[in-house]
Amino acid sequence: MGLISRAASLASVPVTTGARMAGAATAAAFGADRDAVYAKATAASVETLTKSLAKARGPALKFGQALAVFSSALPPEQAAQLTALTRLYEDAKPQPLKTVAAQLKALPPGVEIDPEAIAAASLGQVHRGTWKDGTPVAIKVQYADAPKVVKADMLQLRAMAPLVGRLLPTLDVKALIDEHARRLSEELNYDHEATWQKRFRKAWKAEGIVIPKVMFNTDTVLVTEWVDGTPFTALVNEHAHRRNAAGRQLARFCFWSPRLTGATHADPHPGNFRLLEDDRLAVLDFGSVAQDSGLFTRLFATTLELTATGRDDEVLEAWRSAGLVAESTTTEQLIAMLDPDVRPYTREEFTFSKEWLQSRSQQFQDPVQALQGASRLRFPPDYLLEHRAVMGTIALLCGLDATVDFRNVIDGVGDAVATA
């Protein structure tokens, strides 16, 4: 999708939504059921927003996936629409090699590159290649217009802020968009990505998780070792022991990274993980990393530990200390909102499944009740990426139907954030 068509598609969202809300206000003024007409207008607005973000892909889609983190403040049908964005991954048509030839001139002499890209997104594409010493490599190259795409999308997303504010009224939308813009700026900088990939590789080497070696990089080209393995999307057909091995290592990688690296890999979609023939986990793509992380991961672990032993009042204290709930929120209200299913923690092993994931979905059944719940729950943008990593990891575990010794994993989260 070109810049003009992207802008037109996104720009239409606040216009159509404004018209719907105005219509709802008029209908209510003339005696229609206020809750009913606003619920209908909100549902239609969520659908329009979701479709536009999905169509635009790129930075806009990533923002929609970030919003999905907060979808529990919406009624189930609308939450499902936003949550569906988390299952969409960019699958753009690759551009001809000549389109990125200028960036690839930075490669050292002797590096060979396959002319056909093996993967593509809105900001860049990946080619297989051979390093000058014969090592198979993956060559990630950024499109020349990627910064313009990000800038254009961010302008449109800022225009959508009032709409998102209506849908999620207690969310600081401006701060969330600003945070999103900072993360996108980091993703455009392959120097930044290479630094984090090296750091994660060093930290996890002794723990048996494979992270490809960085061979070379500029700010728009990144060359790493090629890793063969089974993508997570294909593991559904693998034997249970393979899926369980993948699940346990994925859980360790998510929950222990803050302790080992001081950061979290914040893009937990199936395409970024491989299971090798020897059942080791390989992790790819470090363009999205939550820095100085550990706050939410430790809070998540603490919540499980406390609820498992019936110490609900201490859960409220922990969430208040973190600034995630209003002072007026009661223990009963918080526990009801979190609806913490502690079974994975209270058992020596737990099988994560799609059925379990569906059973713990949020319980608000109408817009009024949903907004009442949302008014008690706050979520600073600083927690965004780490929260997405945790929730995305759990969703992946359920997609694998993996049996994991989750309590041992959570107990290994640790009390301190690493600085190495």
Interval 11-70: pLDDT, tens: 566 557 666 666 766 777 767 777 677 667 767 776 777 777 767 666 776 777 666 656
* Domain boundaries, given as residue ranges, for the chain: 3-89+155-171, 230-420
Share of the chain above pLDDT 90, in %: 43
Instruction: Give residues with Cβ within 8 angstroms of 26, minimum separation 6.
Output: none
Q: What is the C-alpha separation between 29 and 20, in angstroms, rounded? A: 14
Most confident of 51-60, 159-168, 250-259, 332-341: 250-259
Return the structure tokens found at 124: 């860049």
Q: What is the DSSP letter of 328?
A: T
- Give 354-403 pLDDT, tens digit per residue: 888 767 654 433 333 443 444 456 667 677 778 878 988 998 999 899 99
Return the structure tokens found at 189: 């900088």
Classify 404 as helix, strand or coil: strand
What pLDDT score does 370 carry? Answer: 41
Return the structure tokens found at 269: 């979609």
- Please state the pTM of the whole predicted model: 0.79
Instruction: Give residues with Cβ within 8 angstroms of 323, minimum separation 6.
Output: 378, 380
Q: What is the DSSP letter of 213?
A: P
Instruction: Give residues with Cβ within 8 angstroms of 10, minimum separation 6.
Output: 52, 53, 56, 60, 153, 156, 157, 159, 160
Q: What is the distance, to the nearest Å, from the Cα of residue 395 to the centroid of all Cα atoms in its chain?
A: 11
Query: If we measure between CA atoms, which residue out of 128, 265, 268 comes closest to residue 197?
Result: 265
